[in-house]
Amino acid sequence: MAAEAHALLPQAVYDSLRSSIIRQELEPGDLVTEALVAARYGVSRPTAKASIERLVAEGLLRREAHRAARIPLLSAEDIADLYDNRALVEGHAVRALAASGSVPVDAITAQRALVASADDFADHDIAFHRALVAGQPSLRLARMHELLMGEIELCIGQVQAGHLLDAAAVARQHQDILNAVTAGDADLAVARTRDHIQTSRDSLLARRNS
């Protein structure tokens, strides 16, 4: 039992640190050092380092050579580029799903959780989009999506923290996507997906420019 608990510890630290970044408890631009993580969670520096490096690999943290990791501070150009590429990848994913009229079970589970949530929707929103892309048949498309998702998760966290959209609005947009997929209407599924993504993008850009 002790060995099992020890094995779970790095995952628990990673999960909590990731959540703190997405929820903006740690803000864009903040340094995330091994010493900070070790002190925050009461773990060894190797355990802290493992969590940091995993988040760097996923894009939720950035590390320049010989420097501490930092939460990325995304520019307006970064946000526009991320969302435009996300729309391309997810559009292809829902087109493939609509061809069979099937929705991944994990996407339905995430949607139900989002509907039941209040304003704490970021994790369910992320899970929904990950499930849609993971559920289509191309492994290469899924890998492309993973390359974007770390920074996209930062953006979704900013949308939630800034109260730019609420859970009910996000859930309605998700349901429109699901309805189009199950109806086998590929063009509508793509359009609904792009509308949903662009709404989030535009809300972020408007906040940045205000």
Q: Are residues 125 and 181 in the same domain?
A: yes
The verdict on 86 and 187 lying in the same domain is yes
Q: Are residues 65 and 80 in the same domain?
A: no
pLDDT averaged per 10 residues in sequence order, the chain, 210 residues: 52 93 92 93 92 93 87 94 96 97 96 91 95 97 94 93 93 98 98 97 89
Is the same domain home to 66 and 80? no
Question: Amino acid identity of 60?
Answer: L
Vertex 174: Cα angle to 194 and 150 (nearest 5): 70
- The answer on 86 and 57 residing in a single domain is no
Summary count for the chain: helices (H), strands (E): 9, 2
List, in order, residues 6 or more apart from 31 with CB less than 8 Å away: 68, 69, 70
Say how far apart CA 158 and CA 122 lie, in whole Å.
9
**66 and 88 both lie in a single domain:** no
Q: Cα–chain-centroid distance for residue 209? A: 23
pLDDT at 171: 96
Cβ atoms of 165 and 120 within 8 Å: the answer is no
User: Domain containing 142 — which CATH number?
Assistant: 1.20.120.530
- The CATH number of whichever domain residue 54 belongs to comes to 1.10.10.10
Determine the structural domain holding residue 147 and report its residue range.
Answer: 76-209
Looking up tokens 């559920």 gives 135
Domains in the chain: how many in total? Answer: 2
Q: Are residues 37 and 130 in the same domain?
A: no
Q: Of the candidates 70, 103, 119, which is a domain's last residue? A: 70
pLDDT value for 80: 96
